[in-house]
Amino acid sequence: MHSLIDLLKRYWRTIRRPSAYYSLGFLTVGGFIAGIIFWGGFNTILEATNTEVFCTSCHEMYDNVYQDLRQTIHFNNRSGVRAKCPDCHVPHNWTFKIARKMQASKEVWGKIFGSISTREKFLAKRKELATRELARLRANDSRECRNCHDFGYMDFTRQSKRAVNAHSTSLERGEKTCVDCHMGIAHRLPDLTPEGQPAGG
Amino acid sequence: MEDEQRKTEETRSFLFLTVVMAPMLAVLFVAGYGFIVWFYQLLAGPPTG
């Protein structure tokens, strides 16, 4: 125990006083280069956790929500532009992205304790999960939709009459947001009827 | 202190600070920032992130 404290004291002294063997130039440049390598590695890992391969590496995501997505226009369409998991589910802004990554600690928890480890458990929890994600998109005015779908560039002459009616009124005035109407466009929509009310009500 | 020992300690200190401590602190700060934003969102309304 004594020798450990002695060791720490010795190193504390070494760290606090000027180096006798390493030049200021080496220490500064060395620290700078280490910083570059660190930041590159950090962002590489951050991006690696932001890929569809990573998301669907868990069977919970691959077997359920990914199979849903494959049936929709956000996966397969005439122009070949498609949405991947993080395009919609991870904010692109850095602050909100980091916050979302920390929220994912709850998903790690769920993975470890198997909260949706079977199809039955997933179906039982699906309404809660969908409701939460829709609430998030309502609260942020469908920000992740708008990363691709920009209202300012919508050509009403190329939309159906029904779409123009909705987009040029409620959407333009900000009374409604994308997900108020466009639900279940990338995954099968569970029955969102509140508890105790007849289905379809 | 012997010169050889001092040199060893300086090398180890430099490696510890640049490879272990600074990266760990940076990750902790970023993670802490993320958690603070999340908890703020929990208090201030539905998480808009």
Please report the pLDDT score of residue A145 as a whole number: 95
Q: B31 CB near a chain A CB, below 8 Å?
A: yes
Give the model confidence (pLDDT) of A87-118 as tens digits. 999 999 999 999 999 999 999 999 999 999 99
Give the model confidence (pLDDT) of A18-50 as tens digits. 999 999 999 999 999 999 999 999 999 999 999
pTM score of the predicted model: 0.85
Q: CA-CA distance, A28 to B1, in Å (whole number)?
A: 25
Please report the pLDDT score of residue B23 as a whole number: 95
Chain A positions contacting chain B at CB under 8 Å are 10-11, 14-15, 19-22, 27, 30-31, 34-35, 38, 42, 91, 95-103, 135-136, 138-140, 143
